[in-house]
Structure 1
């Protein structure tokens, strides 16, 4: 099993291309935690800002993509994608693991995320929004924020994604491929 986890591409085509070509092309599934196409008024537009190109890449992905709606995702943007941008939350069960995907703007605090994860019995809780990576286990849930693939707010400025392969989730720098964090999931309950 291999799942690509990405968030906050904000219309930057090459961020998706790097993640897909290096890590996601052979995945079983890609989970996107929102803010897909629009750069957002607080974010800079980088040279690879090309939402139309990103739409084409996502629409032609050989790997199925599940997208939770972010605060910068509009109905107009969603109408361009063949993959629907779902509600603020997506719930996926994959190989017996319950996975919640949300952008994170509606559940900002760890307490809010913990409560939602417990209520939905999530094994893995994926969020984005803050453009900073998180990979930690709290209680029975592993919390993952892959950071931003395009507009990092990490202190080191690295653009990041996550890859869940077998029972291990790794945060990768998409430029250097360096593994920045790693966590093995607990056994299934």
Structure 2
């Protein structure tokens, strides 16, 4: 069984100097992996997150500093019989961010597609694929609350939940 913290669009330090306490509480618990779907803004976010758990991340559209060139546009991970694809969601064709993310990963036949970009929490089953956007723990924009996601993968079963805080 694996427990995964899913975040995106931290936009730090512009939208926060440090991680909010609700997120820090999760990071200090038994998280097996962290997935960050882009728009980190600063390398310090990457460096801090990798001190908590193994980290998978992609480059977002605002990640312009040199360090972010080492981040891929897409990540593919097989974990306990679940195939995970992750993109930021700003590339490709499609009217909505979920549609762009799906089209960018469709050929990968992923069980789960993680994306960000819109800052809007999203969960939808499309055929045999789950589309999941955790929202943002630091830049809620027009959302009522900040958010992140938790995935629990147990063999070929995945449970996903959004967690909200003010």
Normalised by the length of structure 1, the TM-score is 0.71
Deviations along 1:88-113, whole A, 9 cap, x unmatched? 11111111111111111114534443
1:27 corresponds to 2:47: no
2:147 is the counterpart of 1:160: yes
Of 155, 162, 166, the match for 1:171: 162
Task: Give the Cα separation in 1 of the matches to 2:128 and 2:142.
Answer: 26
Three-state SS of the structure 2 residue aligned to 1:19 is: helix
Helix, strand or coil for the counterpart of 2:5? strand
Provide the aligned length of Structure 1 versus Structure 2: 155
Q: Does structure 1 retain, via aligned residues, the 8 Å contact 2:61–2:90?
A: yes
Q: Shift of the alpha carbon at 1:154?
A: 4.3
CA gap 1:55/1:32 in 2 versus in 1, 3 angstroms: closer
Which residue does 2:83 correspond to in 1?
98
Q: Which runs of 5+ in 2 are unaligned?
A: none
Inter-partner Cα distance in structure 2 for 1:16 and 1:94? 28
Identify the range of structure 1 (5-14 vs 106-115) with the bigger mean alpha-carbon deviation.
106-115
Question: Following TM superposition, where does structure 1 have runs of at least 4 consecutive aligned residues deviating by more than 6 angstroms?
Answer: none
Paired position in structure 1 for 2:72 = 87
Q: Which residue of 2 aligns with 1:150?
A: 138
Could you tell me how far apart the structure 2 residues matched to 1:112 and 1:151 are? 21
Aligned-partner SS, 1:164: strand
Structure 1: where are the runs of 5+ without partners? 39-50, 80-84, 176-189
TM-score (norm 2): 0.80
Deviations 1:141-170 (A, max 9, x none): 0000000111113442x1100000243100
The 5 A counterparts of 1:38-187 are 38=42, 52=44, 54-59=45-50, 61-78=51-68, 85-107=70-92, 109=96, 110-156=98-144, 158-166=145-153, 167-175=158-166
Distance 1:155 1:9 in 2: 14
What secondary structure sits across from 1:14 in the alignment? Answer: coil
